[in-house]
Homo-oligomer: A and B are copies of this chain.
Amino acid sequence: MSKQELPIVDVGVQVAAEACCAPLVCEPLDEAEATELAPLFKAIADPVRLRLLSLIACHEGGEACVCDLTVAFDLTAPTISHHLKVLKQAGLIDSERRGTWVYYWINPSVLARMSALLSPASALAGTPA
């Protein structure tokens, strides 16, 4: 109990980096990493963009036309376009124009990186390496 009373000030705890993208729970994020990662989460920190991402990912062929996406919302086309731009600038999706339509698909590696960062504290509980 007395142990918990003491303010063991030891913030500089740098637990030897080893893994390429260590989960949040394994090693403290430095300022640079946090600054780089936060915009990724900001990009999906919106209900519309979360659904857009999901709709694109689940769409047949792994890609979706803007017209497919727009009809799923009660929002105007410019607004959908804006959200797609945010997702694209974050690197979460990419797009290509084919004739009249523009198609979007997700970038799985970025999503995987984000997932890994949040991955279970379980790794900490029992992982050897």
Contact = CB atoms under 8 A, between A and B. Distances in A.
Interface of A: 1-16, 24-31, 34-35, 37-39, 41-42, 44-51, 53-55, 57-62, 65, 67-69, 71-72, 98-99, 101, 106, 108, 111-112, 114-122, 124-125, 127, 129
B24 A53 contact: yes
Nearest to A67: B7
Nearest to A40: B45
B28 A51 contact: yes
Contacts of A25: 54, 57-58, 106, 108, 111
A111 B106 contact: no
Given A41-B41, A108-B121, A60 B8 contact: yes
Contact of A41 (B3, B7, B50): B50
A124 B98 contact: no
Chain A to chain B: the 10 pairs with minimum beta-carbon distance, closest first:
A108-B121, A42-B45, A115-B118, A34-B47, A25-B57, A45-B45, A41-B45, A29-B54, A108-B125, A38-B47
